[in-house]
A and B are shown apart, each in its own frame.
Chain A
């Protein structure tokens, strides 16, 4: 009996120690650490710590890190119609709202995520071919010239960038829609093309929001 009592008492004492250890480490790692990092981050990098918001004429028009849609309403089936006056982002499987799945319906939250379709998935094959045809027809280029990022959705569904190839491909049509000289829009794309970081990290890219903000300034005669 004493042995059993002892083992119960020892287990209880041990669990108590485990719980106390967790609580004090929660204070260190779950309260002090995030507060300290937030304090320094807010003091040193307020713009970045708060989501890298982009303003145009005193109005916030989004975050330079988060992709957006550039649509002009919806068609009869309820599908969004891209506004070809603006540069279009990558197709997105994740850009959407939580309303669709009924979680936390009081919000209209941005939801991130990928298609998760495999390389042999027939739905994905079909989607890629359809998107390719759409890009080729819309922008008047041969299908072989359509870059991969134009026909695939990203990992986050919020990819803020497109490849320089996809931006260049859209330039002439965008110029025509805005009654701008094609050269001017092409130069705008070149100006907004970022190379690899330090010449070798990641891939060259064009930030779609920043490009469209510059484009809108240009059409309003306020750009350089």
Chain B
């Protein structure tokens, strides 16, 4: 069997597994967020929080809950890293410097998991397990909560109420993420991922002597890292490290974990708005982009363009033998089209075109299928724009799911769309004129001025502002400039869009439903899915083409 055919079969098996999980998981999540009753453990949690889970919130209150919870997250994670040197179980690792601790706290609370540190030689058990891994759960649950609030905005009428943030946060964590993560972690251990608290210990070597290696609660962190589309590795090499991702099956399983909730949430959406076909249209849009990107990535990686890869005979630089080219291509698309950013092969060493696809995937806004929750709300904002464009083309007042898309809704959607490009292009441009920032590029020596060096910086801010967290890791990002600016890009790129999403949700929930007429745009039909794909590509293309031309396109054509 050729590697390319094996790659296609792996993609097929993955898609089949996702199809099987789609309905049960999507329906389950709809039931969880709509359930009238609370579990006993949840009641205990609500009592500790001091919140009434049945109190409905309008959008400003919901937003305040999100922000207060996330602010507490940044604060606690920052403090935990700053005092690491004095904590038990810290393996003797020192406290983290202020700029790096800020960057890492912002990174994990925003579901980005950009890492300017090297896990195995910086973070002890307490920070990894009780700090970073906790944010892997709760930042994902926060994203899901905001998505559910937007869906309620479509589903509800003549009320401004969007549900209760604390209830959505706790339910998403306790009923969705924790049970799947427990199963996922045990599957990974069965494959060979480590799970212990042995810390740094010595292992005998074949040629004699010993090697000190770092163990830890790796499998438990790995499972939620993929499931919550977080992506922050226990080890520096992330999911390329054999203790995080031991074999070919675990690799496919981790890709499955990345994609399963974001895709299934479209079913949850369909259920909650009372028309599962609307969910299928969104799903079809996401799946079309995902499959298209994966096909292009496999083609590019198997063609292995670029002098170094041509000399080697295959695109194996930065890739593991047990995964090979095909499976690594599938992983890299899944991780950049969601907000994950985990890597099983190093993106900086992909072909120039492949690296361009990774960048473009993030630039689409990570909506195919996107991060847990953030993918769905990002795609629904795009759908609002697409409905508006369709309305302009045929000269009709745009409506979506029985709600009028008026001036207010379009303004909110447009603001949402402008935030990330502003952050990405602004910070990249600033880095290009600052000597300190330029010195961090690894690949500057290559080909004169180095389009690959530019790509490294563009990639870093695209990854940060879109809350992805993967890197063209040639860039030395552990400098005060990059720690601070990428930290800001992550925070603004996560929470400003949430402000507009929740405001949009509130505005929609207040409306009276518009009765469906013969003139209503049928948003559950393939035509609309096609229009949506077109809208996404046009909006992204117009925004980022000049920047892409200076980086990967220039590199690929030179």
Interface residues of A (CB under 8 A from B): 14-26, 28-31, 33-34, 36-38, 40-42, 44-45, 48-53, 56, 59-63, 65-66, 68-71, 83, 86, 90, 94, 98, 103-104, 106-125, 128-129, 132, 146-149, 151-163, 196-203, 205, 209, 212-213
Tell me the B38-54 residues at the A interface (CB within 8 Å).
Answer: 45, 48-51
Contact assessment for B308 and A51 in the assembled complex, using a CB-CB cutoff below 8 Å: no
Q: Which residues of B contact A19 (CB under 8 A)?
A: 72, 76
Contact assessment for A37 and B190 in the assembled complex, using a CB-CB cutoff below 8 Å: no
How distant is A207 from chain B, measured CB to nearest CB, in Å? Answer: 9
Taken together as a complex, chains A and B put the C-alpha atoms of A204 and B548 apart, in Å, by 36
Contact assessment for A118 and B219 in the assembled complex, using a CB-CB cutoff below 8 Å: no
Which residue on chain A has the smallest CB distance to residue B129? A34
Tell me the B64-85 residues at the A interface (CB within 8 Å).
Answer: 64-65, 68-73, 76
Q: Which residues of A contact B512 (CB under 8 A)?
A: none
Contact assessment for B198 and A50 in the assembled complex, using a CB-CB cutoff below 8 Å: yes
Q: Which residues of B contact A28 (CB under 8 A)?
A: 45, 173-174, 178
Taken together as a complex, chains A and B put the C-alpha atoms of A203 and B4 apart, in Å, by 11
Q: If the complex has contacts A22-B72, A49-B195, A202-B327, are A156 and B237 also in contact, measured as CB distance less than 8 A?
A: yes
Taken together as a complex, chains A and B put the C-alpha atoms of A159 and B345 apart, in Å, by 11
Contact assessment for A49 and B317 in the assembled complex, using a CB-CB cutoff below 8 Å: no
Taken together as a complex, chains A and B put the C-alpha atoms of A148 and B308 apart, in Å, by 11
Contact assessment for A119 and B6 in the assembled complex, using a CB-CB cutoff below 8 Å: no
Contact assessment for B121 and A104 in the assembled complex, using a CB-CB cutoff below 8 Å: yes
Taken together as a complex, chains A and B put the C-alpha atoms of A94 and B247 apart, in Å, by 19
Contact assessment for A147 and B194 in the assembled complex, using a CB-CB cutoff below 8 Å: no
How distant is B498 from chain A, measured CB to nearest CB, in Å? Answer: 15
Which residue on chain A has the smallest CB distance to residue B109? A22
Q: Which residues of B contact A106 (CB under 8 A)?
A: 92
Give the contacting residue for A20; candidates B50, B137, B352; CB below 8 A. B50
How distant is A36 from chain B, measured CB to nearest CB, in Å? Answer: 7
How distant is B182 from chain A, measured CB to nearest CB, in Å? Answer: 6
Contact assessment for B131 and A48 in the assembled complex, using a CB-CB cutoff below 8 Å: no
Q: Which residues of A contact B237 (CB under 8 A)?
A: 94, 112-114, 155-158
Contact assessment for A118 and B306 in the assembled complex, using a CB-CB cutoff below 8 Å: yes
- In the assembled complex, 24 residue pairs joining A and B whose CB atoms fall closer than 8 Å, in A order, are A15-B71, A18-B73, A21-B48, A22-B69, A28-B173, A38-B195, A38-B220, A44-B189, A48-B190, A65-B242, A90-B321, A106-B92, A109-B213, A109-B214, A118-B352, A149-B314, A153-B317, A154-B321, A157-B237, A201-B10, A201-B251, A201-B327, A203-B321, A203-B327
How distant is A124 from chain B, measured CB to nearest CB, in Å? Answer: 4
Taken together as a complex, chains A and B put the C-alpha atoms of A56 and B207 apart, in Å, by 12
Tell me the B86-123 residues at the A interface (CB within 8 Å).
Answer: 92-94, 118, 120-122
* 5 A-B pairs closest in CB distance: A202-B248, A119-B306, A155-B240, A203-B324, A112-B237
Which residue on chain B has the smallest CB distance to residue A112? B237
Give the contacting residue for A113; candidates B64, B118, B219; CB below 8 A. B118
Q: Which residues of A contact B249 (CB under 8 A)?
A: 197-198, 201-202
Chain B: interface residue count, which band?
A: 35 or more
Contact assessment for A29 and B134 in the assembled complex, using a CB-CB cutoff below 8 Å: yes
Taken together as a complex, chains A and B put the C-alpha atoms of A94 and B320 apart, in Å, by 13
Contact assessment for B308 and A125 in the assembled complex, using a CB-CB cutoff below 8 Å: yes
Tell me the B185-210 residues at the A interface (CB within 8 Å).
Answer: 185-186, 189-198, 200, 203-207
B443 on the A face (CB < 8 A): yes
Q: Which residues of B contact A123 (CB under 8 A)?
A: 445-446
B425 on the A face (CB < 8 A): no
Contact assessment for B206 and A154 in the assembled complex, using a CB-CB cutoff below 8 Å: no
Q: Which residues of B contact A159 (CB under 8 A)?
A: 242, 320-322
Taken together as a complex, chains A and B put the C-alpha atoms of A146 and B169 apart, in Å, by 54
Contact assessment for A17 and B474 in the assembled complex, using a CB-CB cutoff below 8 Å: no
Taken together as a complex, chains A and B put the C-alpha atoms of A140 and B340 apart, in Å, by 45
Q: Which residues of B contact A117 (CB under 8 A)?
A: 308, 317, 348-349, 442-443, 474
Contact assessment for A111 and B242 in the assembled complex, using a CB-CB cutoff below 8 Å: no
Q: Which residues of A contact B73 (CB under 8 A)?
A: 18, 22
Which of B64, B70, B240 has most A Cβ within 10 Å?
A: B240
Q: Which residues of A contact B349 (CB under 8 A)?
A: 114-119, 124
Contact assessment for B182 and A38 in the assembled complex, using a CB-CB cutoff below 8 Å: no
How distant is A25 from chain B, measured CB to nearest CB, in Å? Answer: 5
Contact assessment for B350 and A119 in the assembled complex, using a CB-CB cutoff below 8 Å: yes
Taken together as a complex, chains A and B put the C-alpha atoms of A109 and B213 apart, in Å, by 6
B252 on the A face (CB < 8 A): yes
Contact assessment for A197 and B248 in the assembled complex, using a CB-CB cutoff below 8 Å: yes
Contact assessment for B213 and A51 in the assembled complex, using a CB-CB cutoff below 8 Å: yes
Q: Which residues of A contact B351 (CB under 8 A)?
A: 119
Q: Which residues of B contact A40 (CB under 8 A)?
A: 186
B402 on the A face (CB < 8 A): no
